[in-house]
Amino acid sequence: MAKAPQVQIQPSVFASVAFLKIHDFGRRPVVEQARLRAQLEAAVAVVLQDLKEDARIVLDAADGIALVVLDDPRAALALAGRALAAGAAGLPLSIGINHGAVKQSGKGKHEGLLGDGIAVAAAIAELAGPKKLLVTREFRDALEDAAPGAEAALAGAGTHTDASLRAHALYRHEPRGAARRGARYAAAAAVAVIALAGAGVAFRVSIEGFDRYAARMEAQAMQAVARLRGEAPAAAPPPLQRAAKRRSR
């Protein structure tokens, strides 16, 4: 019996795709297109220096460049941020980042990648507007998975529908978001300390009564001070006696 031919299916992998799109590229004169393209390639060459060659793939798009970051979504975000900064000098970049499936496609000179990871990143870049960076919910989840807490650098930017009528929950890059989150956690820690220690105090007060408890604390404090000064601690008067003395004063 003849054997059925074996079809080799290329595997899909999940990767972060930063789509660097030159804003309004199609409407610009061709000479300007050539200039902007050269500028973009220069900017990409600079930002790629910080990323291991093995961890990324660069794809050509008609109106920009797609950077596929294979391992770490944080690197994709950092890369995009640097590209935006590097391109600030007259390069109207809009950047969309998505985390999704990509797959090897094409043969010979047309080899490249395809997949929803790229399609959505391109659509988001279209929505972003000049000198703006938007990321998808999927990328935020990937960032959170790779480094819990890193997603704090992203702030909600609402839900948008792209030209293909696909709705995307989007986030914008908020570099100070991490600092704000740190401040919130510090405040929460302070509140927790105060609340829990206060609960202990409240428990004692409810058992001993405020006067006895206050007197005991005062005595303990005085003994501690005396110890610090190197004096022999005076015998502490019974708490109730001290409280009565304070009341007569």
Partner 1 sequence: MAKKKDIRIGRYRILDELGRGAMGVVYRAEDPSLDRIVALKTISLSDADEDRKAYEKRFMLEAKAAGKLTHPNIVTIFDYGEEEDVAYMAMELLEGEDLRARIRKGDIPPMEAVEIALQIADGLGFAHEFGVVHRDIKPGNIMLLERGAVKIMDFGIARMRHADASKTSTGMVLGTPRYMSPEQIGGQPVDQRSDIFSLGTVLYEMLTQTSLFAGQDVNQIAHSVANTEPAPPSHAHPELPQMLDFIVARALKKDPSVRYQDAYEMAADLRDVLAEMRGRAPSRDRGDEHDKTQTLRFDAAAEKLPVAPAANAIARETRLPLSRVFDSDAALGRVEARGKRERFTLPPKRVGLFRRIWQDRLPRRLLVAALLAAGLGVLIASS
Pick out residues in 50-89 that bind partner 1 (CB under 8 A).
54-55, 57-62, 65-66, 70
CB of 159 or CB of 245, closer to partner 1: 159
> 228: Cβ–Cβ under 8 A, 6 or more apart, which residues?
none
| Per-residue exposure over 153-179, b if at least 16 CB sit within 10 Å of its own CB, e if not | bbeebeebebeeeeebebbbbeeebee
Q: Which of 85, 141, 234, 241 binds partner 1 (CB under 8 A)?
A: 141
Is 123 a residue that touches partner 1 (CB under 8 A)? yes
User: How far is it, in rounded angstroms, from Cα 244 to Cα 86?
Assistant: 74
Is 109 a residue that touches partner 1 (CB under 8 A)? yes
Residue at token pair 């970049």 = 93
Is 218 a residue that touches partner 1 (CB under 8 A)? no
User: How far is it, in rounded angstroms, from Cα 68 to Cα 168?
Assistant: 20
Is 242 a residue that touches partner 1 (CB under 8 A)? no
Q: Which of 2, 4, 6, 26 binds partner 1 (CB under 8 A)?
A: 26
Q: How far apart are the first and last CA of the chain?
A: 112
Nearest distance from C-beta of residue 48 to partner 1, angstroms: 7
CB of 70 or CB of 214, closer to partner 1: 70
Is 203 a residue that touches partner 1 (CB under 8 A)? yes
